[in-house]
Each structure stands twice: as structure tokens, then as C-alpha cells.
Chains A and B, each alone.
Chain A
Amino acid sequence: AQKVTQAQTEISVVEKEDVTLDCVYETRDTTYYLFWYKQPPSGELVFLIRRNSFDEQNEISGRYSWNFQKSTSSFNFTITASQVVDSAVYFCALSEINNDMRFGAGTRLTVKP
């Protein structure tokens, strides 16, 4: 079965710092999908991004950017100029074709003012 590893349990930064959240995955499939979700203190999971395994182009959305590298099986997430509102738990997830979605253990990000 697929596996997702988020080695960083907790990260604390000061506002305006850049921060990168790591995600490493394992899968035997050639077709798969990677995701990042945000879980703010309110608890509701919020979808951030989806990438498929055939598209290694990095993506930028405002202060968020994602670096997908199949060679290292990584899908890292960078927040530029972090803000207090970015404080949340961030989950990386992997879904194989016709398979369920598995999540990493999450990284708790705290952004201090």
C-alpha cells in the first residue's frame, strides 16, 4: 500500500520567515496523485493542492509553492513570508488509481508574531 512520510512533527517560525514542509511518499504505481491539506485550529480540513504523477511542474499560488520531484519521491510545500494565520497542521496525502487516500502524520506549523 502507499505510504506518506512527514518527518517534521512540529515547526515554529517567526512571522515573515519562509518555511518548507517536507513530504516523502512511497508507491508502486506509475499513476498517482499527491495532495496537501491544511487543518487550522478550527479542525476542518481544507484542500490546498493536487498534483498528478505525470506533471512535475512546480506550482506557485500566492505565498504557497510546491516542489514535486519524482526522482526523490518528494512533494514539498513552501510558505513564503509566513503569517500567523498560516498556523495549522498540514497534511500531505497520496492516492493511487482506484485506491484510497493515505495521509502523512502531519506537520504542526506555528507562526509567531
Chain B
Amino acid sequence: GAGVSQSPSNKVTEKGKDVELRCDPISGHTALYWYRQRLGQGLEFLIYFQGNSAPDKSGLPSDRFSAERTGESVSTLTIQRTQQEDSAVYLCASSPPDRITGELFFGEGSRLTVL
């Protein structure tokens, strides 16, 4: 498809398990973002990839969270030893090389529920 694709759309897991969330950005988009949105809350910045630069990991809440990106394509957000407070929608967004436009294109999110 033409948009940002995220999978799974829904994930239910047990406390203590590891989960991986995947994001396929729009082809040609060099920037990729992960955000977390808890129920009824705002968007919490997690991590930002821009081309081949070192990622900005300043938003990752703990060392249980990590993310990787292969070149300028797929990104995976990994949460180890999940906790109930990790339950949220995880949103991925990408933007084109011309950051002057600045618009982010969002995926539909991956809803994570930790029991």
C-alpha cells in the first residue's frame, strides 16, 4: 500500500513476555518516528530515525524498550519483559527527505494490551 503500515494491529500478551511491533514506512521516506499513546492521553515521543544518522533514543522510557531500523525501510520496536503500564497504542510515522514540509504520515497503530 501507499501508506505507513504497522503490524500487528492488535497484540495481547502476558506480563513478562517480549513483544515486537513492526513498521513499514512509505517508500522513500527517510525519517521514521515511534510514538506511544496511552488511552486518552497524548502522543509520547519514543524514538526517531533519520537516514543513516544515529537515532534519537531520548524518548525511550526504559532499557526494556529498543528499536531498530534497517536502512531506510522497516523498523521494529521491541519491548522486553512487558509490564501492564506498557499497554498503549504504538504509532509509527514517517516523513520524506525534504523535512521542510515536515508533515508526518502516521500508520494506524499497534494496540498493545498487557494482561
Contact = CB atoms under 8 A, between A and B. Distances in A.
B45 A106 contact: no
Nearest to A44: B108
Task: Say which size band chain B's interface belongs to.
Answer: 20 to 34
A101 B104 CA distance: 9
Task: Say which size band chain A's interface belongs to.
Answer: 20 to 34
A43 B101 contact: no
A33 B56 CA distance: 18
Given A43-B89, A103-B42, A104-B42, A98 B50 contact: yes
A33 B102 contact: yes
28 contacts: A1-B58, A6-B42, A33-B102, A43-B108, A43-B109, A44-B108, A45-B91, A45-B93, A47-B103, A47-B104, A47-B105, A50-B102, A52-B100, A91-B43, A95-B102, A98-B99, A99-B56, A100-B56, A101-B33, A101-B45, A101-B48, A102-B45, A103-B35, A105-B41, A105-B42, A106-B41, A106-B42, A108-B40
